[in-house]
Structure 1
Amino acid sequence: MPSDSTIGRLRWLGTRRRFLNLTLTGGAFAAIAPFLLSARSPSKKLNLGFIGVGGQGAVNLEAGSSENVAALCDVNETVLASAARKYPHARRYVDYRKMFEDSARLDGVVISTPDHTHALAVMLALKRKLHVYCETPLAHSVWEARMIAQAFERARVATQMGNQFHSCENYRRVVELIWHGVIGPVREAHVWVSHTFGWRPAAGGGTDGDTGIQKPPAEGEPPPKELHWDLWLGPAPERPFHSAYYPSPNWQRWWDFGGGTLAALGGQWLDLVCWALKLNQPRTISAYGPPPNEDLAPASMSANYFFGVRSDMPSLKVSWHQGLNKPPILQKGKIPSWENGVLFVGDEGMLLADADKYILLPEENFRGFKPPQPSIPGPKSHFAEWIEACKEGKPTGCNFDYASTLTEIIQLANVAYRVGKMLQWDPVNLRATNCPNAESLIINNFRKGWELPL
């Protein structure tokens, strides 16, 4: 963990100004992207480095294939070799720290690694003023997210968090309906997902990433010969390899590497609420579920956030539910039983949405309703929007100012769940004023050689 003096200095470095700006403008959605450095002719290809080239990383690599793939990095030699066959001129690395040492020829990086390694790779890129695309969540802790936000202010480069739902047509139309006041002022919102990346009681509760192990294995296993296990661990505490941790999605259920379903999917689903309702920082956060496990995130849990008045919007309660947990209004059959969804409860009606559709409720009250003309333009794709921003200096929908606030909101619920207490949140000083025990979960430790460059 950083020293107390360093923590105090960094809490205040730009934090008060940033928080006041968000408060005055009505939330992170209104943050204005700074003028971007290194904008270039749209016809000139970018030199990109890709960190993590399997799974979602392979998808991102394909999305960036119209540019110059200049560097490839993966801790799995087999995955790396497969990508290198497609891009034989790209330099190859197993340690992204080495890639950044050779970064003079790069314009930007794409980060598609496990959660616990996001922040260091992002910070190394921002420190070198490289454009950055990073998968969600942006950071593994509240403190990491805040440090990234401050580094982003200084770097003035094009950034995008990889919550691809943000660029879908349906999300834009939902945001427009909320902003047009179609259901009146919204004072309550619910988000639920059925996935269960976490440990579960024997009685049930999901299987996603559930290996049946409830605590770190006492003994390790031989790592696959193609895997650089120590590099995969990165900043996480040292431990022997075990298949309970690797490959994905196993790592997502362990606190040291991921944050369960909330960290995995909160960036996609809470994003719609954050955008439409102009969220800034919550005043209180609480969470409940099975008794907390020291090492593993839960399969099923719920969280409640309370937000104050934002711009032209009233105070608000937002609830999150995952796994077996569902909003009471859904359990009582008062809304359609969707597997995943976002429900906005307004004074004059409700809006139920997912990634590709929405309905206004009660339906009889909105028969014949004609939505407003679309006003929020959409990109060709989430990744393409970032490429365009790199070349032309245009803003992105999920730049690291917006994304860091969304990530803080996500990680705070996991903190509240783990300490078992409602948090009274002081966003300026990055403290739960009523819970000193939360400190060690807000600001995480780093293994020697893997500290953030501040």
Structure 2
Amino acid sequence: MKKDQTNSRRNFIKSTALVTAGITIIPRHVMGGPGFLAPSDKLIVAGIGVGGKGQSDIQNFANTGKADIGFLCDVDDRRAATSIGRFPKAKYYKDWREMFEKEAKNFDAVSVSTPDHNHAVQALAAMELGKHVYVQKPLTHDIYEARQLTDAAKKYKVVTQMGNQGASGDGVRKLREWYDADLIGKVHTVYCWTDRPVWPQGIPWPEHSNATVPSELDWNLWLGTAPYKDYVDGLVPFNWRGWWDYGTGALGDMGCHLIEAPYRVLNLNYPKDVQSSVGSVYVDEFKRGYFPESCPPSSHVIMTFPKTDKTDSDVTLHWMDGGIKPMRPEELGPNETFGDGGNGVLFIGTKGKMMCGTYGENPQLLPTSNTDEVSVPQKYDRVEGGSDGHYGQWVEAAIAGHGKKELSAPFEISGPLTETLLIANLSIRGIDVRKEKTRENGDKYFEYPGRDVKMLWDTENMKVTNLDDVNQFVKRDYRTGW
């Protein structure tokens, strides 16, 4: 088996090198020219990560009636079981590299719904083969990866979409129309908040683990690009989100769904500076815990965005997670729901305020009585099916071919959005960066250079200019072979 896996990896690397040299496997609908469909008249989709969210993704593609699920891939047979049962004609693989090597000529598009740390290598390999890609949020684990995928979408001319369904919803479009109609003036401050995480964070990695890897799970393939560690119970399938080696914390999980709204309404791009504070964890009465492998239990991040064509000045965006919320606006009644209860977005303009919930849903002007009293003309086209139409939009665009149809979250948009979340994470991670020092008497102590620092971001060069210690997190080293 080890010999077969080695050969598989060697052959895949060889085929990828050929692609880089200019030999590209072209999807059937592209070979036939504009408007040409595959022989089945449907988009043939290969799914990587087909349990949980991945299962619902491929089911939604199939529900359009315009896509067939031809191939399934998952490192965990338990997670894949439902999809295998629903798509019995689909061929099943455990290693996505083997699936690409053997089946690349037989599918048109790839859906990626794996843990964050493997998104980029899977999506980029698909694009290099000329495949359209749908990738769950956040687009990538690292800033460097997000920039690479954004550039690759243009280079390989494939249809791309990130899985933040709210980008296709009516709510964000309604917020844009209200703002363009000058109902709240020019926004200068935005608050985004979430009750996530709902998984463990701010905890130490188990020092010793006697856990046995389930027979259905290929642990080595699950780790993928991440450093090798022994298997521990409880990490799969969900709690990996709280560990920096695999996840991106509450920001990665919910940021794309919440910051999407201000990004679209205000035409935001990359932030120019970021600062943060995090909730402390104590191991005893007098000592703060130091667990740099794990995301903190809560955080408050403040980002400054440069003035855009939609604003009169820089915009300050506050991100809050772990149950932290901004002060309730005075225009909101004492018993009215703030956001959607657990999550929300608040826009503060020079003439008024507006808010929404997750995905930009339930947009409201403040006071909320204004919402039903105000009417503005529809300016932006709606996506058929709203948020649920996010899947069909990608399927139809992929069938039509690159550049033929508009998408709500192509990598040109979702790449910079993802980078913004990951820049915020730089500040969060920077708080726990420490350096050992020695006093004159020989005593050892630690300095934390990232605390109380406003990090200045150089977008072009993808680096923090005034705290080099955090630049190690912009681009990580992959495990050998990945």
| TM-score for both structures, normalised by structure 1 | 0.84
* Deviation for aligned residue 1:439: 1.3
Q: Secondary structure of the residue that 2:316 maps to in structure 1?
A: strand
In structure 2, what is the Cα distance between the partners aligned to 1:80 and 1:367? 46
Equivalence for 1:379: 384
Equivalence for 1:368: 373
Equivalence for 1:80: 80
Q: Secondary structure of the residue that 1:326 maps to in structure 2?
A: coil
In structure 2, what is the Cα distance between the partners aligned to 1:290 and 1:97? 40
In structure 1, what is the Cα distance between the partners aligned to 2:182 and 2:419? 27
Gap change, CA 1:182 and 1:369, over 3 Å in 2: same
* Deviation for aligned residue 1:146: 0.7
RMSD: 2.3
Gap change, CA 1:363 and 1:62, over 3 Å in 2: closer
The counterpart of 1:401, out of the listed 394, 397, 412, is: 412
Q: Secondary structure of the residue that 1:64 maps to in structure 2?
A: helix
2:367 maps to a residue whose letter is P
Equivalence for 1:222: 212
1:369 maps to a residue whose letter is V
Gap change, CA 1:70 and 1:367, over 3 Å in 2: closer
Gap change, CA 1:71 and 1:413, over 3 Å in 2: same
1:317 maps to a residue whose letter is T
Runs of 4+ in 1 over 4 A off after TM superposition: 36-39, 329-337, 363-367
Equivalence for 2:90: 90
In structure 2, what is the Cα distance between the partners aligned to 1:180 and 1:124? 43
Equivalence for 1:15: none
* Deviation for aligned residue 1:422: 2.1
Gap change, CA 1:57 and 1:181, over 3 Å in 2: same
In structure 1, what is the Cα distance between the partners aligned to 2:258 and 2:224? 28
In structure 1, what is the Cα distance between the partners aligned to 2:210 and 2:294? 18
In structure 2, what is the Cα distance between the partners aligned to 1:163 and 1:427? 24
2:83 maps to a residue whose letter is A
* Deviation for aligned residue 1:417: 1.1
In structure 2, what is the Cα distance between the partners aligned to 1:59 and 1:378? 20
2:454 maps to a residue whose letter is M
Of all paired residues, the percent bearing the same amino acid is 31
Corresponding position: 1:147 with 2:148: yes
Equivalence for 1:122: 123
The counterpart of 2:462, out of the listed 427, 430, 435, is: 430
In structure 2, what is the Cα distance between the partners aligned to 1:81 and 1:368? 50
2:423 maps to a residue whose letter is L
Equivalence for 1:106: 107
Q: Secondary structure of the residue that 1:150 maps to in structure 2?
A: helix
Gap change, CA 1:180 and 1:129, over 3 Å in 2: farther
In structure 2, what is the Cα distance between the partners aligned to 1:172 and 1:429? 33
Equivalence for 1:443: 475
* Deviation for aligned residue 1:334: 7.9
1:322 maps to a residue whose letter is D
Corresponding position: 1:44 with 2:76: no
Equivalence for 1:253: 242
In structure 2, what is the Cα distance between the partners aligned to 1:243 and 1:254? 14
In structure 1, what is the Cα distance between the partners aligned to 2:330 and 2:94? 48
In structure 1, what is the Cα distance between the partners aligned to 2:241 and 2:259? 18
In structure 2, what is the Cα distance between the partners aligned to 1:443 and 1:313? 32
Contact 2:279–2:297 (CA<8 Å) still a contact in 1? no
Contact 1:287–1:414 (CA<8 Å) still a contact in 2? no
Contact 1:213–1:244 (CA<8 Å) still a contact in 2? no
Gap change, CA 1:153 and 1:366, over 3 Å in 2: closer
Gap change, CA 1:217 and 1:275, over 3 Å in 2: farther
Equivalence for 1:308: 306
* Deviation for aligned residue 1:364: 6.6
Equivalence for 1:18: none
In structure 1, what is the Cα distance between the partners aligned to 2:378 and 2:332? 32
Q: Secondary structure of the residue that 1:403 maps to in structure 2?
A: helix
Gap change, CA 1:176 and 1:342, over 3 Å in 2: same
Contact 1:216–1:295 (CA<8 Å) still a contact in 2? no
In structure 2, what is the Cα distance between the partners aligned to 1:237 and 1:81? 28
Q: Secondary structure of the residue that 2:373 maps to in structure 1?
A: coil
The counterpart of 2:258, out of the listed 251, 269, 277, is: 269
Corresponding position: 1:235 with 2:225: yes
Equivalence for 1:10: none
Gap change, CA 1:331 and 1:110, over 3 Å in 2: farther
Gap change, CA 1:366 and 1:229, over 3 Å in 2: closer
Contact 2:202–2:296 (CA<8 Å) still a contact in 1? no
Equivalence for 2:10: none
In structure 1, what is the Cα distance between the partners aligned to 2:309 and 2:183? 18
In structure 2, what is the Cα distance between the partners aligned to 1:225 and 1:330? 53
Q: Secondary structure of the residue that 1:379 maps to in structure 2?
A: coil
2:253 maps to a residue whose letter is A
Equivalence for 1:296: 294
In structure 1, what is the Cα distance between the partners aligned to 2:412 and 2:227? 29
Gap change, CA 1:48 and 1:346, over 3 Å in 2: same
Contact 1:116–1:139 (CA<8 Å) still a contact in 2? yes
Corresponding position: 1:156 with 2:146: no
In structure 1, what is the Cα distance between the partners aligned to 2:276 and 2:52? 31
**Stretches of structure 2 lacking an aligned partner (at least 5 in a row):** 1-28, 281-289, 432-452
Deviations, residues 28-62 of structure 1 (Å, cap 9, x unaligned): xxxxxxxx966544682111100111101110121
The counterpart of 2:399, out of the listed 380, 391, 413, is: 391
Equivalence for 2:283: none
2:263 maps to a residue whose letter is C
In structure 2, what is the Cα distance between the partners aligned to 1:125 and 1:216? 35
Larger Rg: 2
Deviations, residues 388-421 of structure 1 (Å, cap 9, x unaligned): 1101231211001111100000011111111133
Contact 2:456–2:464 (CA<8 Å) still a contact in 1? yes
Contact 1:57–1:111 (CA<8 Å) still a contact in 2? yes
Higher relative contact order structure (alpha carbons within 8 Å, sequence separation ≥ 6): 1
Corresponding position: 1:348 with 2:351: yes
Deviations, residues 332-363 of structure 1 (Å, cap 9, x unaligned): 97885522111110111000111431221235
* Deviation for aligned residue 1:195: 1.8
Q: Which of 97-106 and 40-49 deviates more?
A: 40-49
Deviations, residues 139-169 of structure 1 (Å, cap 9, x unaligned): 0011110111111110111110000111122
In structure 2, what is the Cα distance between the partners aligned to 1:395 and 1:373? 18
